[in-house]
Structure 1
Amino acid sequence: MKYFYRLGTGLIFGLTLGILNEGALLQVSTAQPQVIAANKPAPAPTVTPKATSPSGSAEDLILFLRAFRDFSQGNALQTTSKLSLDAKTEGATLQSVVYIKAIAQKPKQFRVDISFKSEDSSKARTYQVISDGKTVWVYRPDTQQYLVQTYEQFDKSDDSFLIGSATSLYLNSPNDFQKTVTDEALAAIAADPKMVASFYKETGTTFKGYQKDEANQNYAIYTWDDTQGASSQMNLLISPQTSTIQQFVITGKEKGMTLNLREVIVERVPNPKLAPNTFKFTPSATAKRVKSLSLSPFGE
């Protein structure tokens, strides 16, 4: 599940760049990237003729790529999100809500405040996870315990997904994505049925259609099935009005549990102001270093 949780990050970005570089970008002149303000609709590129694929249309693909381009912009990103988790086993159902506030800077720096609150508990557990790109510190304020790991150790751990899909997506986005995915490139790829079909096939993307939520918000839904043998599926919900990524939904089975994860992006701020010590952790004199510190959302 941890692998699949990141499916929409480096894999999709890498394949998208490869497809664009091999096809559409060879047909258009180099242009300056168009900066699209967050949460504001951007003009749609001209699509002539209308290309389609069994997995989705050219218009669906344009929306998808514009949303990824918008998300990858800036030298740093601040996000606030709400992650709802449901886990079902034989005879038990576990639920938890995780509030995530993160600041990320490429390639590997982040500062994440994580707050767990289960339905049967009025008191939240809070953690800080801080990375300077080489070292990751996990700190629990109420017990004053902290764990020190290398970036690679944390990245491979079962807790790494709790920094949020929004943070992972941004950190895994290539720096040249905005320069590569210009409106001219999008128009060229959308006009070529082979390019449209190639994208859906190579990335394993399926456009499921549009759906409204309880608040009557309309979303375009894109789906990926796990290719590593697990019965999991990831859905990405994009606002067609603003071309912005709004939600990540993951369902699947792992270790005898049926899991359902939904991360809703509450706020996204490109290029936030960063303090000099944003990505550094300095323990207090009373803090205690420990050998293990779990971030389990379902227990203490």
Structure 2
Amino acid sequence: MKFTLSAIASMTILSMVGGGVDASQLSLPEQRLNYATSISQATEPVDLALLAKSITNLLQSDRYQTDSQIEFNVGTQGTQTTIYLQSKMITQAGRKFRAEIAYTKPGEPPQTGNLVISNGKQVWIYRSDLQQYSVSSYTDFKDSSDWVLIGISSFAFIDFPEEDRKVVVDGNLSANNVLSYLGLASNSELQGNQQTLDGQSVYVYGYKDSQEGFTLTAFINPETASLQQVQLAGKSDNLDILLTEKILSRTTNPTISSNTFQFLPPKGTTRVKSLSISPL
């Protein structure tokens, strides 16, 4: 899975020098997200059995709704920009999804009505504040940086091949073959240890891709084998990047309609060549 940190960095640099929205002033009225400490070198084997169980739990259904709180921090030369988002995302096998995105400024109601919708082949981005929408292929959308902003955990599910999902659900994913399913050659690419998140004991898995320049960290509840939080950290174009997604809730088999994965442009909306969900 590629995380196009260079694209994110470029987007942020442009916002800093281009006089866009003052994202550093955006904040949620709720609690700030908890950050992971760096994962130390493991002193005992990584708990692959828990990881296998967590992946199996995630793939039990072909459709989910995930409500997330996302904080995206970018810093360079003493300047830090922060974007706060809330995402309500319905995902279904076949690369279908519907994400409702809200931004919040202090003392103001959330900016709602922003949508990113995929029917598996095409992706629509709609900005209610601009009354504009764009259409692109799923592949082009994944080559951009927007997908990172609406929920990393959901895309881990969307991009999992359906044939492999069925193999996992049938109970054929064990601790012995979990590494191969994740595309890892050996345990050396994966670290893990016990930590505390919001006063709760969690098992934290860390994966560092030196070639792509990012570290991915996943927080798992060891009792339920459920994903609690995801972090993506890296450095690109002299920017320090940290994206934290806290999963507020995950619902199995949410109700959908024939229009859930289709976009119907509201009256008066203009189609544009390209559009970003970022408020910058």
Normalising by the smaller structure, the TM-score range is 0.7 to 0.9
Return the alpha-carbon distance in structure 1 between the equivalents of residues 173 and 268 of structure 2: 56
| 2:232 counterpart of 1:250 | yes
| 2:202 counterpart of 1:219 | yes
| 2:73 counterpart of 1:86 | yes
- 1:144-184 deviation line (CA, Å, top 9, x unaligned): 11111111211111212123112101112233435346667
| Structure 1 position 268, deviation (Å) | 0.5
Larger Rg: 1
C-alpha spacing 1:203/1:123, structure 2 compared with 1 (3 Å): farther
Residue of structure 2 in register with 1:205 after alignment: 190
| 2:161 counterpart of 1:174 | yes
2:256 corresponds, among 274, 297, 300, to 274
Return the alpha-carbon distance in structure 2 between the equivalents of residues 290 and 155 of structure 1: 19
Query: For this pair of structures, how many residues does the alignment match?
Result: 239
Return the alpha-carbon distance in structure 1 between the equivalents of residues 244 and 212 of structure 2: 22
Return the alpha-carbon distance in structure 2 between the equivalents of residues 218 and 129 of structure 1: 34
Residue of structure 1 in register with 2:108 after alignment: 122
Residue of structure 1 in register with 2:45 after alignment: 57
Instruction: Report percent identity of matched pairs.
Output: 30
C-alpha spacing 1:88/1:184, structure 2 compared with 1 (3 Å): closer
Residue of structure 1 in register with 2:39 after alignment: none
> Any gaps of 5 or more consecutive residues in structure 2?
7-41
Residue of structure 1 in register with 2:174 after alignment: 186
| Structure 1 position 294, deviation (Å) | 2.1
Contact kept, 8 Å, 1:79 with 1:267, in 2: the verdict is: yes
Return the alpha-carbon distance in structure 1 between the equivalents of residues 155 and 67 of structure 2: 13
- 1:180-203 deviation line (CA, Å, top 9, x unaligned): 46667637x39xxxx9xx967168
| Structure 1 position 75, deviation (Å) | 2.1
| Structure 1 position 4, deviation (Å) | 7.0
Residue of structure 2 in register with 1:103 after alignment: 90
| Secondary structure of the corresponding residue to residue 167 of structure 1 | helix
Residue of structure 2 in register with 1:2 after alignment: 3
TM-score, scaled to structure 1: 0.71
TM-score, scaled to structure 2: 0.76
- 1:117-141 deviation line (CA, Å, top 9, x unaligned): 35x6735444200111111110011
- 1:82-137 deviation line (CA, Å, top 9, x unaligned): 1111111113111121111100111211100112235x673544420011111111
Larger mean Cα displacement after TM superposition, 131-140 or 172-181: 172-181
| Secondary structure of the corresponding residue to residue 186 of structure 1 | coil
Contact kept, 8 Å, 1:72 with 1:177, in 2: the verdict is: yes
Structure 2: which amino acid aligns with 1:75? D
Return the alpha-carbon distance in structure 2 between the equivalents of residues 282 and 117 of structure 1: 25
Return the alpha-carbon distance in structure 1 between the equivalents of residues 58 and 100 of structure 2: 20
Contact kept, 8 Å, 1:55 with 1:200, in 2: the verdict is: no
Instruction: Please tell me the root mean square deviation across aligned C-alpha atoms, in Å.
Output: 2.8
Report 1:130-169 matches (<5 A).
130-169=117-156
| Secondary structure of the corresponding residue to residue 252 of structure 1 | strand
| 2:223 counterpart of 1:241 | yes
Residue of structure 1 in register with 2:99 after alignment: 112
